[in-house]
Every structure is written in C-alpha cells, then in structure tokens.
Amino acid sequence: MLAHTPYDGSSKPFTIGLRPLDPARWIEPDAGLAQFLTEKRRLFTEQPNAVFAAREDTLDSQREVRDALADYLTQIYPDLYVRDGNGITIMPLRQRVAFDDPLPPLMQAARLVQDDLALMRRFDDGWRLAAAAICFPSTWLLQEKFDRTLADIHAPVPGFPGEMEKRVTRIFDNLRADAPVERFNWSIYDNDVLYHPHPAPRAPAAEPSFIRVERQTLRRMASGDILFTIRILIDPIAAFRDHPDGQTLARALRDQLLALTSDQLAYKNMTESRDRIAHSLAAFVTAD
C-alpha cells in the first residue's frame, strides 16, 4: 500500500508535473495483478464498446505497443511473464494472451498489464485520442473522449484551456522516444471500485475511505504516436494509521485538499465533502 504518494508535496494538483521516467520502471505490476486483469477480462467481454475504441488506421501502431510491452515484461519480470509461442503466459494467473486471436492488438496488450492504454496521434488540428483500452476511468467516459483533441478532452479541467494547453501540445510535439516521462494525479473516493466512469453521489454521513492515485506515463513510439499509460492505485485512508510516515502524509494531503479552488473541488466532485474529508484526515495528525 501507498506505493505512490503524489500528495506528499512531490506533485502539485492541476499542474503538468512531468518528471523523467526510468525505462526500467515503465510498468509496475504488484500483488493486485490478478484482480486487475480479471476485471479487465470481464469488462472486455461484457461491455467492450464502453472500454475499447480505435481508429481503423491504428492497427500497426497497436501492434507496436503490444510487442514493445511483451518484450519489456518478459525481460523485466520473467517470473511473471513468459513467452508462449505467439503469445504471453501470465504466470500468477496461468493465463495466456494469444497474439494471433481476433482481438485488437491494443486490447491484447491491455490484457497483460494493470495499466490502461491510450494512443495519441498528431493530426493537423492537434493530438487526438486515436485508440484506447480504458477499463478503469476516474469519472469519465471513453465514448465522450475518443477521437477528440487534447483541447476537447481536457476542456473541463480547471486551468487547462489556454496556456497550459499550448505547453502540453509542445511537450507532446517534442517528446523524444528515448526520454519517457511520468506524472501523477490523486482524488478521494468513498469506494474502491476500479471501473468508475460516473461520479458517485457521496453519502452525507459516509467517511471518505480511499485515495485514488493515477500514475501516468508518456512514451513516444517508433510510429510517432504517443502511448499514454494510466495505472490506478487505490489505498484506504486508514493505511495512514500504520504507515511510518502516516501523520506527515495525512497532513500533506489535507493541506493540498484545503488549497484547492472552488473550480478544482467541483472537478474532483469534492465541493460538498471537502470539510468532512479534511476533518477525517486531521484525525490521523497529532501535535508535534
């Protein structure tokens, strides 16, 4: 638990916040691998149109992503991923992902990792979401974002339209294949549901229970497309109680929460619950 704590001051909410990424840390499987991949298989089977979309002209790029992930996973995590003919066997699940089945290559790739995968492609009007396997959205719908530009996708994000949009476009345009980057987001939810496309109404008396962190990486592929990975990490707020730095983390999270503007709180669906969440976090902090 608490593998990544961007609310500790290492990241500031609603900023670009990119940092260099060690290529050896591109993907970080953990003890939740089986849970995530089982839920992905369910979603891909039961509601594929809600969690997958791709332009027809992205097949070659999808294959590049799948093959790059297969090479990386079998080299970095040989105990977890083993090549098995034209496919990969995920050892903890004894489950094989075949690369010669009829599933789209990006969906095959997504069935290997806990991360969601999105391919961004440059067009005359900007970078567009050209293909995506998004099983664990944090309050957004793939159907509303697919094939939209960065500007359209992030229009609801406070502070994005204008100068930040221009900066992000320049970053995408200039991202080097040998220099992947990562960034983090966080929010607070009342539940630990992975598939979370809609904002859930907060029960007035309910305690805020979980910190939902997004670890995002960006990597330019040989095709020129940019692969955007999104890894969800969900930690119970109660984990602060037993963590050696729990008081410091709770205080830092509370400080960031209280510093959010009204627009930022509304975007995170925490307008009505901010004070209640802050009070809950204060319980983990004692006087120095």
Q: Residues 229-240: pLDDT tens digits?
A: 999 999 999 999
Span 105-116, mean pLDDT? 98
Mean pLDDT lowest among 15-29, 33-47, 195-209 = 195-209
Both tokens of 107, joined, read 């969906």
Percent residues over pLDDT 70 in the chain: 96
Span 125-154, mean pLDDT? 97
Neighbours of 279 (CB within 10 A): 12
Q: What is the pLDDT of residue 80?
A: 98
Identity at 222, one-letter amino acid code: A
**pLDDT tens-digit series, residues 63-109:** 999 999 999 999 999 999 999 999 999 999 999 999 999 999 999 99
Helix (H), strand (E) at residue 252? helix 246-259
Q: What is the pLDDT of residue 287?
A: 44
**pLDDT tens-digit series, residues 146-196:** 999 999 999 999 999 999 999 999 999 999 999 999 999 999 999 999 999
Residue 33 has pLDDT above 50, yes or no: yes
* Radius of gyration (C-alpha) of the chain in whole angstroms: 19
Span 104-122, mean pLDDT? 98
Size (the chain), residues: 288
Mean pLDDT lowest among 60-69, 196-205, 248-257, 276-285 = 196-205
Q: What is the pLDDT of residue 70?
A: 98
Confidence of residue 199 (pLDDT cuts 50, 70, 90): confident
Distance CA 100, CA 246 (A): 47
Q: What is the pLDDT of residue 288?
A: 46
Residue 200 has pLDDT above 80, yes or no: no
Query: pLDDT averaged over the chain?
Result: 95
Identify the residue with better confidence: 202 or 176.
176
Distance CA 73, CA 274 (A): 40
CA terminus-to-terminus distance, the chain: 25
Closest residue by Cα to residue 258 from 244, 284, 238, 276:
276
**pLDDT tens-digit series, residues 266-286:** 999 999 889 999 998 999 886
Query: Contact, 51 vs 44, CB < 8 A?
Result: yes
Total-model pTM: 0.95
Strands 19-20, 116-123: parallel, antiparallel or unpaired by DSSP? unpaired
Confidence of residue 204 (pLDDT cuts 50, 70, 90): low
Query: Contact, 51 vs 116, CB < 8 A?
Result: no
